[in-house]
Protein backbone atom coordinates (compact mmCIF):
# COMPACT_ATOMS: atom_id res chain seq x y z
CA UNK A 1 0.00 0.00 0.00
CA UNK A 2 2.84 2.39 0.87
CA UNK A 3 4.39 1.79 -2.45
CA UNK A 4 1.14 2.59 -4.24
CA UNK A 5 0.68 5.84 -2.32
CA UNK A 6 4.28 6.82 -3.01
CA UNK A 7 3.78 6.23 -6.69
CA UNK A 8 0.64 8.39 -6.73
CA UNK A 9 2.53 11.22 -4.90
CA UNK A 10 5.38 11.15 -7.43
CA UNK A 11 2.98 11.05 -10.36
CA UNK A 12 0.66 13.82 -9.07
CA UNK A 13 3.07 16.19 -7.30
CA UNK A 14 6.77 15.65 -7.91
CA UNK A 15 6.67 15.12 -11.70
CA UNK A 16 4.42 18.12 -12.45
CA UNK A 17 6.54 20.39 -10.25
CA UNK A 18 9.72 19.28 -12.02
CA UNK A 19 8.06 19.80 -15.41
CA UNK A 20 7.03 23.32 -14.41
CA UNK A 21 10.58 24.06 -13.29
CA UNK A 22 12.04 22.77 -16.52
CA UNK A 23 9.50 24.66 -18.57
CA UNK A 24 10.30 27.84 -16.68
CA UNK A 25 14.04 27.38 -17.25
CA UNK A 26 13.45 26.51 -20.91
CA UNK A 27 11.36 29.62 -21.41
CA UNK A 28 14.22 31.76 -20.10
CA UNK A 29 16.62 29.92 -22.43
CA UNK A 30 14.32 30.29 -25.41
CA UNK A 31 13.95 34.00 -24.84
CA UNK A 32 17.73 34.34 -25.03
CA UNK A 33 17.99 32.70 -28.52
CA UNK A 34 18.24 35.06 -31.50
CA UNK A 35 15.61 34.98 -34.30
CA UNK A 36 18.40 34.04 -36.80
CA UNK A 37 18.87 30.71 -35.02
CA UNK A 38 15.22 29.85 -35.56
CA UNK A 39 15.49 30.69 -39.22
CA UNK A 40 18.40 28.25 -39.53
CA UNK A 41 16.55 25.50 -37.65
CA UNK A 42 13.39 25.88 -39.73
CA UNK A 43 15.43 25.91 -42.96
CA UNK A 44 17.18 22.66 -41.98
CA UNK A 45 13.87 21.01 -41.15
CA UNK A 46 12.40 22.10 -44.48
CA UNK A 47 15.48 20.74 -46.32
CA UNK A 48 15.13 17.40 -44.56
CA UNK A 49 11.45 17.18 -45.47
CA UNK A 50 12.20 18.07 -49.11
CA UNK A 51 15.00 15.48 -49.30
CA UNK A 52 12.77 12.80 -47.85
CA UNK A 53 10.07 13.73 -50.34
CA UNK A 54 12.54 13.60 -53.25
CA UNK A 55 13.82 10.19 -52.12
CA UNK A 56 10.26 8.90 -51.88
CA UNK A 57 9.50 10.22 -55.38
CA UNK A 58 12.78 8.84 -56.73
CA UNK A 59 12.11 5.41 -55.23
CA UNK A 60 8.58 5.58 -56.55
CA UNK A 61 9.88 6.54 -60.03
CA UNK A 62 12.50 3.77 -59.94
CA UNK A 63 9.81 1.26 -59.03
CA UNK A 64 7.57 2.64 -61.78
CA UNK A 65 10.42 2.49 -64.32
CA UNK A 66 11.23 -1.06 -63.25
CA UNK A 67 7.62 -2.13 -63.77
CA UNK A 68 7.61 -0.47 -67.21
CA UNK A 69 10.80 -2.31 -68.16
CA UNK A 70 9.39 -5.65 -67.02
CA UNK A 71 6.27 -4.99 -69.10
CA UNK A 72 8.37 -4.06 -72.16
CA UNK A 73 10.51 -7.18 -71.74
CA UNK A 74 7.40 -9.32 -71.72
CA UNK A 75 6.19 -7.66 -74.94
CA UNK A 76 9.51 -7.83 -76.81
CA UNK A 77 9.35 -10.07 -79.86
CA UNK A 78 12.85 -9.66 -81.29
CA UNK A 79 16.40 -8.84 -80.28
CA UNK A 80 16.21 -5.24 -81.53
CA UNK A 81 13.29 -4.50 -79.20
CA UNK A 82 15.17 -6.09 -76.29
CA UNK A 83 18.16 -3.83 -76.95
CA UNK A 84 15.81 -0.84 -76.60
CA UNK A 85 14.70 -2.16 -73.20
CA UNK A 86 18.31 -2.52 -72.10
CA UNK A 87 18.74 1.13 -73.06
CA UNK A 88 16.09 2.04 -70.48
CA UNK A 89 17.79 -0.14 -67.86
CA UNK A 90 21.02 1.74 -68.49
CA UNK A 91 19.28 5.10 -68.27
CA UNK A 92 17.50 4.52 -64.92
CA UNK A 93 20.75 3.10 -63.53
CA UNK A 94 22.62 6.31 -64.26
CA UNK A 95 24.77 4.62 -66.89
CA UNK A 96 26.18 6.19 -70.04
CA UNK A 97 26.97 2.97 -71.90
CA UNK A 98 25.90 -0.67 -71.78
CA UNK A 99 27.45 -3.65 -73.55
CA UNK A 100 26.36 -7.28 -73.75
CA UNK A 101 28.89 -10.04 -74.38
CA UNK A 102 28.10 -13.65 -75.21
CA UNK A 103 30.28 -16.75 -75.12
CA UNK A 104 31.97 -17.37 -78.47
CA UNK A 105 34.37 -20.29 -78.69
CA UNK A 106 37.19 -19.49 -76.22
CA UNK A 107 36.24 -15.81 -76.02
CA UNK A 108 33.33 -13.56 -75.22
CA UNK A 109 32.09 -11.59 -78.22
CA UNK A 110 30.24 -8.28 -78.21
CA UNK A 111 26.56 -8.95 -78.98
CA UNK A 112 25.43 -5.31 -78.89
CA UNK A 113 26.35 -1.97 -77.35
CA UNK A 114 24.21 0.99 -76.30
CA UNK A 115 25.13 4.67 -75.99
CA UNK A 116 22.73 6.80 -73.92
CA UNK A 117 24.01 10.31 -74.58
CA UNK A 118 24.51 11.03 -78.31
CA UNK A 119 26.82 13.93 -77.43
CA UNK A 120 29.07 11.72 -75.33
CA UNK A 121 32.29 10.54 -76.92
CA UNK A 122 32.05 6.83 -77.69
CA UNK A 123 33.77 4.41 -75.34
CA UNK A 124 35.91 1.87 -77.18
CA UNK A 125 34.15 -1.45 -76.63
CA UNK A 126 36.41 -4.34 -77.63
CA UNK A 127 34.78 -6.87 -79.94
CA UNK A 128 36.37 -9.73 -78.01
CA UNK A 129 37.51 -10.02 -74.40
CA UNK A 130 38.92 -12.96 -72.50
CA UNK A 131 36.98 -14.84 -69.85
CA UNK A 132 38.89 -13.47 -66.87
CA UNK A 133 38.18 -9.90 -67.91
CA UNK A 134 34.53 -10.64 -68.56
CA UNK A 135 34.01 -12.20 -65.16
CA UNK A 136 35.59 -9.34 -63.21
CA UNK A 137 32.71 -7.38 -61.67
CA UNK A 138 34.51 -4.04 -61.29
CA UNK A 139 37.06 -2.02 -63.19
CA UNK A 140 37.43 1.32 -64.87
CA UNK A 141 37.70 2.57 -68.45
CA UNK A 142 38.90 6.15 -68.78
CA UNK A 143 36.52 8.30 -66.73
CA UNK A 144 33.94 5.54 -66.41
CA UNK A 145 33.37 2.92 -63.73
CA UNK A 146 32.35 -0.54 -64.95
CA UNK A 147 29.78 -2.71 -63.18
CA UNK A 148 29.19 -6.25 -64.50
CA UNK A 149 26.03 -8.33 -64.30
CA UNK A 150 26.80 -11.96 -65.06
CA UNK A 151 24.23 -14.57 -66.13
CA UNK A 152 23.98 -17.65 -63.93
CA UNK A 153 25.15 -19.93 -66.73
CA UNK A 154 28.06 -17.53 -67.39
CA UNK A 155 27.32 -17.59 -71.12
CA UNK A 156 26.45 -13.89 -71.16
CA UNK A 157 27.37 -10.75 -69.26
CA UNK A 158 26.13 -7.15 -69.20
CA UNK A 159 28.70 -4.41 -68.60
CA UNK A 160 27.39 -1.03 -67.38
CA UNK A 161 29.52 2.13 -67.67
CA UNK A 162 28.74 4.91 -65.14
CA UNK A 163 30.53 8.24 -64.82
CA UNK A 164 30.30 9.23 -61.14
CA UNK A 165 30.64 5.96 -59.25
CA UNK A 166 30.20 2.22 -59.70
CA UNK A 167 26.94 0.58 -58.71
CA UNK A 168 27.56 -1.05 -55.34
CA UNK A 169 26.89 -4.78 -55.33
CA UNK A 170 25.21 -4.67 -51.91
CA UNK A 171 22.78 -1.92 -52.97
CA UNK A 172 19.10 -2.38 -53.80
CA UNK A 173 19.74 -0.78 -57.20
CA UNK A 174 22.33 -3.44 -58.06
CA UNK A 175 19.98 -6.24 -57.08
CA UNK A 176 17.15 -4.77 -59.18
CA UNK A 177 19.40 -4.33 -62.21
CA UNK A 178 20.78 -7.86 -61.77
CA UNK A 179 17.25 -9.28 -61.92
CA UNK A 180 16.34 -7.18 -64.96
CA UNK A 181 19.55 -8.04 -66.79
CA UNK A 182 19.25 -11.75 -66.02
CA UNK A 183 15.73 -11.90 -67.42
CA UNK A 184 16.72 -9.76 -70.39
CA UNK A 185 19.63 -12.07 -71.20
CA UNK A 186 17.35 -15.12 -71.07
CA UNK A 187 14.79 -13.51 -73.33
CA UNK A 188 17.48 -12.31 -75.75
CA UNK A 189 18.85 -15.86 -75.98
CA UNK A 190 15.37 -17.30 -76.48
CA UNK A 191 14.43 -14.90 -79.26
CA UNK A 192 17.86 -15.13 -80.88
CA UNK A 193 17.84 -18.92 -80.86
CA UNK A 194 18.01 -20.56 -84.26
CA UNK A 195 15.53 -23.09 -82.91
CA UNK A 196 12.81 -20.60 -81.95
CA UNK A 197 9.57 -22.49 -82.61
CA UNK A 198 7.70 -19.52 -84.01
CA UNK A 199 10.53 -18.53 -86.34
CA UNK A 200 11.09 -22.07 -87.59
CA UNK A 201 7.37 -22.53 -88.19
CA UNK A 202 7.20 -19.30 -90.21
CA UNK A 203 10.24 -20.20 -92.28
CA UNK A 204 8.99 -23.73 -92.87
CA UNK A 205 5.66 -22.47 -94.21
CA UNK A 206 7.28 -20.08 -96.70
CA UNK A 207 9.99 -22.52 -97.72
CA UNK A 208 7.54 -25.35 -98.33
CA UNK A 209 5.36 -23.15 -100.50
CA UNK A 210 8.22 -21.91 -102.66
CA UNK A 211 10.14 -25.16 -102.87
CA UNK A 212 7.46 -27.55 -104.03
CA UNK A 213 8.87 -27.64 -107.55
CA UNK A 214 12.36 -28.46 -106.25
CA UNK A 215 11.14 -31.18 -103.95
CA UNK A 216 9.43 -32.83 -106.92
CA UNK A 217 12.87 -33.88 -108.16
CA UNK A 218 12.60 -36.85 -105.83
CA UNK A 219 9.44 -37.98 -107.59
CA UNK A 220 9.75 -36.56 -111.12
CA UNK A 221 12.64 -38.08 -113.08
CA UNK A 222 12.34 -35.56 -115.90
CA UNK A 223 12.79 -32.60 -113.56
CA UNK A 224 15.71 -34.35 -111.92
CA UNK A 225 17.35 -34.96 -115.28
CA UNK A 226 16.84 -31.29 -116.22
CA UNK A 227 18.57 -30.23 -113.01
CA UNK A 228 21.71 -32.33 -113.39
CA UNK A 229 21.91 -31.67 -117.16
CA UNK A 230 21.75 -27.92 -116.60
CA UNK A 231 24.59 -28.07 -114.09
CA UNK A 232 26.73 -30.27 -116.36
CA UNK A 233 26.20 -28.00 -119.37
CA UNK A 234 27.38 -24.98 -117.41
CA UNK A 235 30.29 -26.75 -115.75
CA UNK A 236 31.99 -28.23 -118.81
CA UNK A 237 30.41 -25.98 -121.47
CA UNK A 238 28.74 -28.94 -123.11
CA UNK A 239 26.76 -28.38 -126.30
CA UNK A 240 24.14 -31.02 -125.59
CA UNK A 241 23.17 -33.54 -122.94
CA UNK A 242 21.02 -36.52 -123.96
CA UNK A 243 19.56 -38.89 -121.37
CA UNK A 244 18.10 -42.25 -122.44
CA UNK A 245 15.63 -43.62 -119.88
CA UNK A 246 15.67 -47.25 -121.00
CA UNK A 247 13.34 -48.39 -118.25
CA UNK A 248 10.54 -46.15 -119.49
CA UNK A 249 11.71 -45.99 -123.13
CA UNK A 250 12.10 -42.18 -123.02
CA UNK A 251 14.76 -39.78 -124.29
CA UNK A 252 15.44 -36.28 -122.93
CA UNK A 253 17.48 -33.69 -124.87
CA UNK A 254 18.98 -30.57 -123.29
CA UNK A 255 20.97 -27.91 -125.09
CA UNK A 256 21.42 -27.73 -128.88
CA UNK A 257 19.74 -30.80 -130.32
CA UNK A 258 21.98 -32.73 -132.71
CA UNK A 259 25.07 -30.69 -131.83
CA UNK A 260 28.33 -31.80 -133.46
CA UNK A 261 31.25 -32.51 -131.20
CA UNK A 262 32.88 -35.17 -129.04
CA UNK A 263 30.36 -37.39 -127.25
CA UNK A 264 30.99 -39.28 -124.03
CA UNK A 265 28.56 -41.76 -122.50
CA UNK A 266 27.94 -42.25 -118.76
CA UNK A 267 25.74 -44.74 -116.96
CA UNK A 268 23.67 -43.42 -114.05
CA UNK A 269 23.94 -46.22 -111.52
CA UNK A 270 20.71 -47.64 -110.05
CA UNK A 271 18.58 -45.59 -112.45
CA UNK A 272 18.53 -47.63 -115.64
CA UNK A 273 19.61 -44.56 -117.63
CA UNK A 274 22.46 -43.59 -119.96
CA UNK A 275 23.74 -40.04 -120.41
CA UNK A 276 25.58 -38.72 -123.48
CA UNK A 277 27.47 -35.45 -123.07
CA UNK A 278 28.55 -33.64 -126.25
CA UNK A 279 31.41 -31.13 -125.94
CA UNK A 280 33.46 -29.16 -128.47
CA UNK A 281 36.65 -30.93 -127.31
CA UNK A 282 37.24 -34.17 -125.47
CA UNK A 283 36.85 -34.14 -121.69
CA UNK A 284 40.06 -34.63 -119.75
CA UNK A 285 40.45 -37.48 -117.18
CA UNK A 286 39.71 -35.21 -114.21
CA UNK A 287 36.48 -33.97 -115.81
CA UNK A 288 35.45 -37.52 -116.68
CA UNK A 289 35.96 -38.72 -113.13
CA UNK A 290 34.24 -35.68 -111.64
CA UNK A 291 31.18 -35.93 -113.90
CA UNK A 292 30.84 -39.65 -113.25
CA UNK A 293 30.97 -39.15 -109.50
CA UNK A 294 28.51 -36.26 -109.64
CA UNK A 295 25.95 -38.09 -111.74
CA UNK A 296 25.98 -41.14 -109.48
CA UNK A 297 26.00 -39.21 -106.20
CA UNK A 298 23.32 -36.70 -107.25
CA UNK A 299 20.95 -39.47 -108.23
CA UNK A 300 21.65 -41.30 -105.00
CA UNK A 301 21.25 -38.17 -102.85
CA UNK A 302 18.07 -36.89 -104.45
CA UNK A 303 16.26 -40.13 -105.08
CA UNK A 304 17.50 -42.54 -102.43
CA UNK A 305 18.53 -39.85 -99.87
CA UNK A 306 21.91 -41.43 -99.25
CA UNK A 307 24.37 -38.85 -97.89
CA UNK A 308 27.67 -40.57 -97.19
CA UNK A 309 30.77 -38.40 -97.24
CA UNK A 310 32.11 -39.56 -100.60
CA UNK A 311 28.87 -38.78 -102.40
CA UNK A 312 28.48 -35.46 -100.61
CA UNK A 313 32.00 -34.37 -101.57
CA UNK A 314 31.38 -35.24 -105.22
CA UNK A 315 28.05 -33.47 -105.20
CA UNK A 316 29.56 -30.37 -103.57
CA UNK A 317 32.49 -30.33 -105.97
CA UNK A 318 30.19 -30.28 -108.94
CA UNK A 319 28.03 -27.52 -107.46
CA UNK A 320 31.20 -25.45 -107.09
CA UNK A 321 32.12 -26.15 -110.73
CA UNK A 322 28.65 -25.20 -111.93
CA UNK A 323 28.68 -22.00 -109.88
CA UNK A 324 32.08 -21.05 -111.30
CA UNK A 325 30.80 -21.73 -114.81
CA UNK A 326 27.77 -19.54 -114.20
CA UNK A 327 30.03 -16.68 -113.06
CA UNK A 328 32.21 -17.07 -116.15
CA UNK A 329 29.08 -16.87 -118.28
CA UNK A 330 28.43 -13.34 -117.02
CA UNK A 331 31.56 -11.11 -117.15
CA UNK A 332 30.37 -8.85 -114.32
CA UNK A 333 30.47 -11.78 -111.89
CA UNK A 334 34.05 -12.92 -112.47
CA UNK A 335 35.66 -14.17 -109.22
CA UNK A 336 32.58 -13.07 -107.30
CA UNK A 337 32.37 -16.12 -105.03
CA UNK A 338 36.11 -16.14 -104.35
CA UNK A 339 36.03 -12.48 -103.29
CA UNK A 340 32.97 -13.03 -101.10
CA UNK A 341 34.75 -15.95 -99.45
CA UNK A 342 37.93 -13.93 -98.84
CA UNK A 343 36.03 -11.12 -97.10
CA UNK A 344 33.77 -13.45 -95.11
CA UNK A 345 36.63 -15.61 -93.85
CA UNK A 346 38.64 -12.56 -92.80
CA UNK A 347 35.70 -11.26 -90.74
CA UNK A 348 34.79 -14.67 -89.27
CA UNK A 349 38.31 -15.23 -88.00
CA UNK A 350 38.49 -11.69 -86.64
CA UNK A 351 35.30 -12.35 -84.65
CA UNK A 352 36.68 -15.69 -83.36
CA UNK A 353 33.84 -17.70 -84.90
CA UNK A 354 34.25 -21.41 -84.06
CA UNK A 355 36.24 -23.46 -86.54
CA UNK A 356 33.29 -25.60 -87.71
CA UNK A 357 31.25 -22.51 -88.57
CA UNK A 358 34.26 -20.97 -90.34
CA UNK A 359 34.42 -24.09 -92.50
CA UNK A 360 30.70 -23.72 -93.29
CA UNK A 361 31.24 -20.07 -94.26
CA UNK A 362 34.10 -21.04 -96.56
CA UNK A 363 32.00 -23.67 -98.34
CA UNK A 364 28.82 -21.58 -98.47
CA UNK A 365 30.70 -18.64 -99.99
CA UNK A 366 31.71 -20.79 -102.96
CA UNK A 367 28.11 -21.64 -103.86
CA UNK A 368 26.00 -19.01 -102.07
CA UNK A 369 24.35 -18.05 -105.39
CA UNK A 370 23.78 -21.62 -106.59
CA UNK A 371 20.03 -20.86 -106.50
CA UNK A 372 20.63 -18.69 -109.57
CA UNK A 373 21.02 -21.85 -111.61
CA UNK A 374 18.22 -22.97 -113.97
CA UNK A 375 15.06 -20.87 -113.63
CA UNK A 376 16.93 -17.86 -112.21
CA UNK A 377 20.13 -17.58 -114.23
CA UNK A 378 18.42 -16.67 -117.49
CA UNK A 379 17.34 -13.35 -115.96
CA UNK A 380 20.91 -12.27 -115.20
CA UNK A 381 21.77 -11.78 -118.86
CA UNK A 382 18.67 -9.83 -119.82
CA UNK A 383 19.23 -6.28 -121.04
CA UNK A 384 15.56 -5.35 -120.74
CA UNK A 385 13.97 -4.40 -117.45
CA UNK A 386 12.97 -7.47 -115.46
CA UNK A 387 9.29 -8.19 -114.92
CA UNK A 388 7.81 -8.41 -111.43
CA UNK A 389 7.63 -12.18 -111.80
CA UNK A 390 11.31 -12.37 -112.76
CA UNK A 391 12.23 -10.15 -109.82
CA UNK A 392 10.29 -12.42 -107.46
CA UNK A 393 12.15 -15.41 -108.86
CA UNK A 394 15.51 -13.73 -108.30
CA UNK A 395 14.55 -12.65 -104.77
CA UNK A 396 13.82 -16.29 -103.97
CA UNK A 397 17.19 -17.58 -105.16
CA UNK A 398 18.51 -17.92 -101.57
CA UNK A 399 15.64 -20.30 -100.84
CA UNK A 400 16.21 -22.25 -104.03
CA UNK A 401 19.89 -22.49 -103.21
CA UNK A 402 19.24 -23.78 -99.70
CA UNK A 403 17.00 -26.50 -101.12
CA UNK A 404 19.59 -27.54 -103.71
CA UNK A 405 22.20 -28.05 -100.97
CA UNK A 406 19.78 -29.72 -98.55
CA UNK A 407 21.20 -33.21 -99.24
CA UNK A 408 24.60 -31.94 -98.05
CA UNK A 409 23.36 -30.36 -94.85
CA UNK A 410 24.02 -33.38 -92.66
CA UNK A 411 27.73 -33.05 -93.43
CA UNK A 412 28.18 -29.42 -94.51
CA UNK A 413 25.86 -27.14 -92.54
CA UNK A 414 25.50 -24.46 -95.18
CA UNK A 415 21.76 -24.39 -95.87
CA UNK A 416 20.93 -21.57 -93.44
CA UNK A 417 23.90 -19.48 -94.59
CA UNK A 418 22.73 -19.64 -98.18
CA UNK A 419 19.07 -19.15 -97.26
CA UNK A 420 19.66 -16.01 -95.16
CA UNK A 421 22.55 -14.23 -96.90
CA UNK A 422 20.25 -11.53 -98.33
CA UNK A 423 18.45 -10.79 -95.06
CA UNK A 424 19.11 -7.38 -93.45
CA UNK A 425 19.75 -6.51 -89.81
CA UNK A 426 16.79 -4.07 -89.84
CA UNK A 427 14.37 -6.68 -91.16
CA UNK A 428 14.14 -5.17 -94.67
CA UNK A 429 15.93 -8.02 -96.46
CA UNK A 430 14.65 -11.02 -98.37
CA UNK A 431 13.33 -13.65 -98.82
CA UNK A 432 11.91 -13.91 -95.26
CA UNK A 433 12.45 -10.44 -93.74
CA UNK A 434 14.26 -11.72 -90.63
CA UNK A 435 15.36 -9.14 -88.05
CA UNK A 436 18.55 -8.70 -86.02
CA UNK A 437 19.82 -11.84 -84.34
CA UNK A 438 17.12 -13.92 -86.02
CA UNK A 439 19.74 -14.03 -88.79
CA UNK A 440 22.66 -16.32 -87.82
CA UNK A 441 25.88 -14.33 -87.42
CA UNK A 442 27.60 -16.45 -90.08
CA UNK A 443 24.87 -15.53 -92.61
CA UNK A 444 25.19 -11.86 -91.62
CA UNK A 445 28.93 -12.04 -92.35
CA UNK A 446 28.29 -13.72 -95.71
CA UNK A 447 25.69 -11.09 -96.63
CA UNK A 448 28.04 -8.24 -95.77
CA UNK A 449 30.82 -9.81 -97.84
CA UNK A 450 28.55 -10.14 -100.86
CA UNK A 451 27.33 -6.54 -100.59
CA UNK A 452 30.86 -5.13 -100.35
CA UNK A 453 32.02 -7.29 -103.25
CA UNK A 454 29.10 -6.09 -105.35
CA UNK A 455 29.97 -2.44 -104.70
CA UNK A 456 33.57 -2.76 -105.91
CA UNK A 457 32.63 -4.86 -108.96
CA UNK A 458 31.62 -3.52 -112.37
CA UNK A 459 27.99 -3.85 -113.40
CA UNK A 460 26.26 -3.23 -116.72
CA UNK A 461 24.81 0.04 -115.40
CA UNK A 462 27.87 1.39 -113.49
CA UNK A 463 31.57 0.99 -112.88
CA UNK A 464 32.78 -0.60 -109.65
CA UNK A 465 33.42 1.78 -106.75
CA UNK A 466 36.92 2.44 -105.42
CA UNK A 467 37.45 0.46 -102.24
CA UNK A 468 37.42 3.50 -99.93
CA UNK A 469 34.07 4.67 -101.33
CA UNK A 470 32.56 1.19 -100.98
CA UNK A 471 33.90 0.95 -97.42
CA UNK A 472 32.33 4.30 -96.57
CA UNK A 473 28.96 3.19 -97.93
CA UNK A 474 28.81 -0.04 -95.95
CA UNK A 475 29.81 1.76 -92.74
CA UNK A 476 26.83 4.10 -93.18
CA UNK A 477 24.59 1.03 -93.13
CA UNK A 478 25.66 0.00 -89.62
CA UNK A 479 22.55 -0.87 -87.63
CA UNK A 480 20.47 -0.83 -90.81
CA UNK A 481 21.52 -3.40 -93.39
CA UNK A 482 24.34 -4.73 -91.24
CA UNK A 483 24.99 -5.68 -87.65
CA UNK A 484 27.22 -3.02 -86.01
CA UNK A 485 29.38 -5.86 -84.71
CA UNK A 486 30.15 -6.97 -88.28
CA UNK A 487 30.91 -3.37 -89.29
CA UNK A 488 33.30 -3.00 -86.34
CA UNK A 489 35.13 -6.16 -87.41
CA UNK A 490 35.35 -4.79 -90.96
CA UNK A 491 36.87 -1.54 -89.68
CA UNK A 492 39.56 -3.52 -87.87
CA UNK A 493 40.32 -5.67 -90.92
CA UNK A 494 39.83 -3.02 -93.61
CA UNK A 495 43.41 -2.86 -94.89
CA UNK A 496 43.80 -6.65 -94.93
CA UNK A 497 40.50 -7.05 -96.80
CA UNK A 498 41.60 -4.51 -99.42
CA UNK A 499 44.79 -6.52 -99.96
CA UNK A 500 42.77 -9.75 -100.26
CA UNK A 501 40.45 -8.26 -102.87
CA UNK A 502 43.31 -6.82 -104.88
CA UNK A 503 44.51 -10.40 -105.36
CA UNK A 504 41.35 -11.11 -107.40
CA UNK A 505 40.92 -7.66 -108.92
CA UNK A 506 44.31 -6.00 -109.59
CA UNK A 507 42.53 -2.91 -110.95
CA UNK A 508 40.87 -2.22 -107.62
CA UNK A 509 41.98 1.18 -106.27
CA UNK A 510 41.94 2.39 -102.71
The average pLDDT across 249-267 equals 88
User: What is the distance between the alpha carbons of residues 346 and 489, in angstroms, rounded to a whole number?
Assistant: 9
pLDDT, tens digit, 9 for 90 and up, residues 73-103: 777 878 888 889 999 999 888 899 999 999 8
> What average pLDDT does the chain have?
79
Instruction: Using the predicted structure, report yes or no on whether residue 140 has a pLDDT greater than 60.
Output: yes
Using an 8 Å Cβ cutoff, are 112 and 437 in contact? no
User: What is the distance between the alpha carbons of residues 425 and 434, in angstroms, rounded to a whole number?
Assistant: 8
Q: What DSSP state is assigned to residue 305? A: -
Q: How far apart are the first and last CA of the chain?
A: 111
455 pLDDT band (50/70/90 cuts)? very high
Q: Is 375 exposed, middle or buried (0-12, 13-18, 19+ CB in 10 A)?
A: middle
List 264's β-bridge partners, or say none. 277
Q: What is the pLDDT of residue 313?
A: 78
425 pLDDT band (50/70/90 cuts)? very high
For the question of whether the overall pTM of this predicted structure is more than 0.85, the answer is no
Among 413, 435, 442, residue whose Cα is nearest residue 479: 435
The average pLDDT across 16-37 equals 50
Report percent pLDDT > 90 for the chain.
27
User: What is the distance between the alpha carbons of residues 229 and 200, in angstroms, rounded to a whole number?
Assistant: 33
Establish how many alpha carbons lie within 13 A of residue 402's alpha carbon, considering only the half-sphere containing its beta carbon: 21
The average pLDDT across 154-183 equals 88
Instruction: Using the predicted structure, report yes or no on whether residue 284 has a pLDDT greater than 90.
Output: no
pLDDT, tens digit, 9 for 90 and up, residues 29-80: 445 555 665 566 666 666 665 555 554 444 445 556 677 887 787 778 788 8
User: What is the distance between the alpha carbons of residues 365 and 314, in angstroms, rounded to a whole number?
Assistant: 17
User: What is the distance between the alpha carbons of residues 30 and 27, in angstroms, rounded to a whole number?
Assistant: 5
User: What is the distance between the alpha carbons of residues 408 and 269, in angstroms, rounded to a whole number?
Assistant: 20
Helix count and strand count (H, E) for the chain: 19, 10
Helix (H) or strand (E) holding 369: none
The average pLDDT across 298-323 equals 69
Helix (H) or strand (E) holding 264: strand 262-268
Helix (H) or strand (E) holding 102: strand 95-104
Which has more confidence, 203 or 421? 421
Using an 8 Å Cβ cutoff, are 422 and 431 in contact? yes
Q: What DSSP state is assigned to residue 167? A: P
Sign of CA dihedral 347, 323, 302, 296: negative
Which has more confidence, 472 or 411? 472
- Pseudo-torsion of CA 79, 83, 85, 89, nearest 10°? 140
Alpha-carbon distance values, 491 to 121, 143, 156, 426, 471 (Å): 18, 25, 25, 20, 9
Domains and their CATH numbers in the chain? 69-192 (3.30.450.40), 218-325 (no CATH), 330-510 (1.10.3210.10)
List 252's β-bridge partners, or say none. 243
Alpha-carbon distance values, 98 to 107, 148, 431, 456, 457 (Å): 19, 10, 33, 35, 38
Amino acid sequence: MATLEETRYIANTVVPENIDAVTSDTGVFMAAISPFFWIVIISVLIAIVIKLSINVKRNSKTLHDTMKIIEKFSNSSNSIEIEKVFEEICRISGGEYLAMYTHRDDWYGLAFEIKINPNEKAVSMPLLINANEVMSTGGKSGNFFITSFIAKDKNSVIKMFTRDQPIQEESDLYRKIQILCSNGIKLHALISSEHSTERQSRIAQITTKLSSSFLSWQYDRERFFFFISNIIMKSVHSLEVVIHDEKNNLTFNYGKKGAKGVAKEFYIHHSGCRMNIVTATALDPVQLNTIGGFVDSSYSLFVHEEDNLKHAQQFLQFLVHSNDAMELEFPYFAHHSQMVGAVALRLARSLKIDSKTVESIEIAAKIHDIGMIADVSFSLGKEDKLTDSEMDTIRNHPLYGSIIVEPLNQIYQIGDLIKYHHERYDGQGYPLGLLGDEIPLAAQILGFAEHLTGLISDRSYRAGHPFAKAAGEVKKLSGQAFNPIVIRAFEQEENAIFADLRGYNPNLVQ
